Structure 1
Amino acid sequence: MKNLLENIGKKSKKAFFQKLSSKKKDKVLRDYCYLINKNKKLIINENKKDIKIALKKKLKINLIQRLILNDKKISDIINSIKKIIKLKDPTNVILQKWKRPNGLNISKISIPIGVIGVIYESRPNVTSDVASLCFKSGNAVILKGGTEAFYSNYILSKLFRKSLQKNGLDENFVQFLKLKNRKVVDFILTRMNKFIDVIIPRGGKSLVKKVQDLSTVPTIGHLEGVCHSYVDVDANPKIASKVIHNAKLRNTAICGATETILLHEKIVKKIGNQILRNLEKNGCKIIGDNKIRKAYSKKIKKASINDWSKEYLAPVVSVKSVKNLEEAIQHINKYGTMHTDCIITQNKKSAKKFLNEVKSSIAMHNTSTQFADGGEFGFGGEVGISTNTLPPRGPVGLNQLVSYKYQITSKGAVRK
């Protein structure tokens, strides 16, 4: 295993140094779309192998639904790649340029990061999205997908490599690890820092925690999405009800789903009850603090201090009453995970204060937290969401997969 993985690392490093033009990148991605479309039946047949194994292992129905590839989902994969093709190449861009009195002409230029390792679970479309984003940004990528989607991931990566070969490029710009041994991930995290420049985990809490705890390679990602929606005293009731309903229930299993609702104490009875009734009517379980339980018309479970830190990923929501905007911000900064947090208010001053003072990587105003997604940001997709304090933060798309360097010229300048 050691020799095999180190050989994969060496191949990625070698591929990374092959020169790429923007035209060539887009040609590879167009050919990839063509190959996916041409091989729809083959992809679906390989996907059926994964579904058969998943059913045999009795995986949860929501995990199996994530796995399934059909004509529509394959069309979505192709459309996602086409969006990436339309985006401007983020590399070799002059970000800043200036002259110094000492005779130096300084340029700050965007460059690829290098070799990116992506460890992910479940969804096969991650393979095509991540490979396309990494390649367009000039990076080589090593993919370690979950065993539950092995055959689907393998065929999608194989078609990308075929497109690279067709265009006379090193197929090792994209490598998929076929090893199913669980020790593979441990080795990548602890022994591959000579070959991998950054690791991005995309999956559940246990996977991300393992990566963050063990990795000797820098990581980009988030552990949990404890997202908040705060309904201010100056909220528009219709906007509040509509936004909260979507933020919680559109898709409860994503990291951008609201997990805690904060209600200004002055609107708990009127707007708050309306919001909670609407959620409960649509199958959402409410957990509230004492003030919420007292004001709400139905009996609900009492929230414990642990509930403020919970990522439910289910139709369950914690609800807390706060005295004012300051308390809402303090609560979010204490219990949140710097993912995505929203204020619902018509007061522009309050909105500005919230947007400036919450520590979140994504701060929103009158907007569903479910928009925390690279595709929705116009990034052409994402390799994940980052809650790191250092950049990149938020959705990590095409323009976040680059670094930069300084290029300096002069007419023989020497330092005194």
Structure 2
Amino acid sequence: MIKIMNLIGIKSRKASEKKINLDTKNKVLILYAKLLDRENKSILRENLKDIKFAKSKGIKENLINRLQIDKVKLKNIKDSVIKISKLKDPVNVTLKKWSRPNGLNIKRVTIPIGVIGVIFESRPNVTSDVAGLCFKSGNAVILKGGSEAINTNRILAKLFRQALKKHNVDENYIQFVDSTDRKMVDIMLSKMKQYIDVIIPRGGKNLVKRVQEFSTVPIIGHLEGICHTFIDKDAELNMASNIIYNAKLRNTAICGATETILLHEKIVKKFCNPILKRLENENCKIYGDNIIRKNYKGKVYPAKEKDWSTEYLTAAVSVKVVKSSDEAINHINKYGTMHTDSIITKNKKTASKFLKNVKSSIAMHNTSTQFADGGEFGFGGEVGISTNTIPPRGPVGLEQLVSYKYEISSKGKIRK
């Protein structure tokens, strides 16, 4: 097993050392998009196998929803690849250049990271998004998906390799670990440091925690998405209601879904019932503090301490009343996971204070937290969202998948 993974690592490293020009990169991506279209029946057939397997294993409904591909989702996957093909090449970009009094001319220039290992669960679109973004940014990628999606992931990776081969590019730029054995993940994390430059986990809390605990390779990722929306005393009711409804219920299974609503005490009586009733009408379970329980006329469950640090990933939300924007910021910085947090207010000064002081990698004003997505940021897609305190942070797209080097020239200068 280690021999197999080492061979994959060797092939990835060799592929990553071959520089591909922008024209070829884009031709590969456009052909891949065409193959996704041409082979749509085969992809849907393989996905159906995965759905049947997942249901037989009793996998949760929200995970099955992530796993399932239909014609609309497949078109979105294809469109994402086309968007990536239209983005500028992030490699060999001069970030800054300057000259020194000592005669040195210095440039900071972007370079690929090298080999990226991605370990993910459920979502087959990760295969195409990650493969596209890594290839465009000049990185080789080793993909290890979950057993529940192996058939779908296999065909998506196979089609990308076909597109590479057609344009005389080393197929091993994209490699798929075609195994359901979890030991393969352990080997990637602990035995492949010489081949893999960075690991990106995409999946549930247990997967990410395991990666963080066992990886000897640097990690880009986040453990949980405990996202907040704070409704300030200067918020407009209709806007607040629409944003909260979308932030919580548009898709409850994504890491950018709002899990806690913070409500300023001065607007509880006016805002509490219309906003929460709209959620409850859609079968959203509400956990409220004592003030919410006293003011809300619908069904509300008593919020416990653990609810402030719970990522529900379903139709459930915790609601707390705060006395000020400072208290809201402090609550978010204590219980949040530095993912995405939003304030709803007409007061620009309060908004600015919130945006500057929450520790979130994505801070929003009058915006649904569901926009925490690389595609929505114009990145063409994302390989994940990072809540690290050091870069990259937020959605990790093309420009975050490069490092840099310094290129220095002079007219024969020597140091005294």
1:298 match: 298
Q: Match for residue 346 of structure 1?
A: 346
Distance 1:397 1:157 in 2: 19
Give 1:227's aligned residue.
227
Partner Cα separation in structure 2 for residue 58 and residue 340 of structure 1: 31
- 1:97–1:263 Cα change, 3 Å: same
Report what 1:85 is aligned to: 85
Determine the structure 1 residue equivalent to 2:143. Answer: 143
TM-score in terms of structure 1 length: 0.98
Deviation at 1:7, TM superposition (A): 0.8
User: What SS does the aligned partner of 2:119 have?
Assistant: strand
Displacement of 1:282 = 2.0
**Matching residue's letter, 1:328:** A
Question: Residues 16-415 of structure 1 correspond to what in structure 2 (within 5 A)?
Answer: 16-415=16-415
Note if contact 2:373-2:395 (Cα within 8 Å) is conserved in structure 1: yes
Distance 2:49 2:345 in 1: 50
SS of the residue corresponding to residue 297 of structure 2 reads coil
What CA distance in whole angstroms lies between the structure 1 residues aligned with 2:63 and 2:298? 33
Q: Is the 8 A contact 2:119 2:143 kept in 1?
A: yes
2:65 and 2:237 map into 1 onto residues whose CA distance is 35
Q: Give the Cα separation in 1 of the matches to 2:70 and 2:293.
A: 45
Instruction: Give the Cα–Cα distance (whole angstroms) in 1 for the partners of residues 359 and 302 of structure 2.
Output: 27
Cα displacement (A) at 1:151: 1.0
CA drift at 1:174? 0.3
Deviations 1:261-286 (A, max 9, x none): 11111111112222112211221111
Gaps of 5+ in 1: none
The answer as to whether partners of 2:287 and 2:300 remain within 8 angstroms in 1 is yes
For 2:403, what is the secondary structure of its paired residue? strand
- How many residue pairs get aligned? The number is 416
Unaligned runs of at least 5 residues, structure 2 = none
Query: Considering only aligned residues, what root-mean-square deviation do their CA atoms show, in Å?
Result: 1.1
Quickly say closer, same or farther: Cα 1:408–1:155, change in 2 above 3 A. Answer: same
Distance in 2 (alpha carbons) for counterparts of 1:234 and 1:149 = 46
**1:59 CA displacement:** 2.6
Task: Give, in angstroms, the shift of residue 44 of structure 1.
Answer: 2.1
1:298-334 deviation per Cα after TM superposition (whole angstroms, max 9, x unaligned): 3522111111111011111111111111111001000
Taking a change above 3 Å as real, the CA distance of residues 95 and 302 of structure 1, as seen in their structure-2 partners, is: same
Residues 121, 145 of structure 2: 8 Å contact kept: yes
- Distance, in Å, in 1 between the alignment partners of 2:53 and 2:358 is 44
Q: Please say if residues 272 and 295 of structure 2, whose CA atoms lie closer than 8 Å, have aligned partners that are also in contact.
A: no
- AA of the residue aligned to 1:363: A
Alignment partners' CA distance in 2, 1:302 and 1:276: 15
Q: How far off is 1:292 after superposition?
A: 1.5
The residue type paired with residue 305 of structure 1 is E
SS in 2 for 1:259: strand
Percent of aligned positions with the same letter in both sequences?
A: 65
Question: How far apart, CA to CA, are the structure 1 residues paired with 2:395 and 2:149?
Answer: 24
Q: Which runs of 4+ in 1 moved over 4 A?
A: none
CA offset digits 1:240-266 (Å, max 9, x no partner): 111111111111111101111111111
Deviations 1:155-213 (A, max 9, x none): 11011111111111110000000122111111110111110000000001100000011
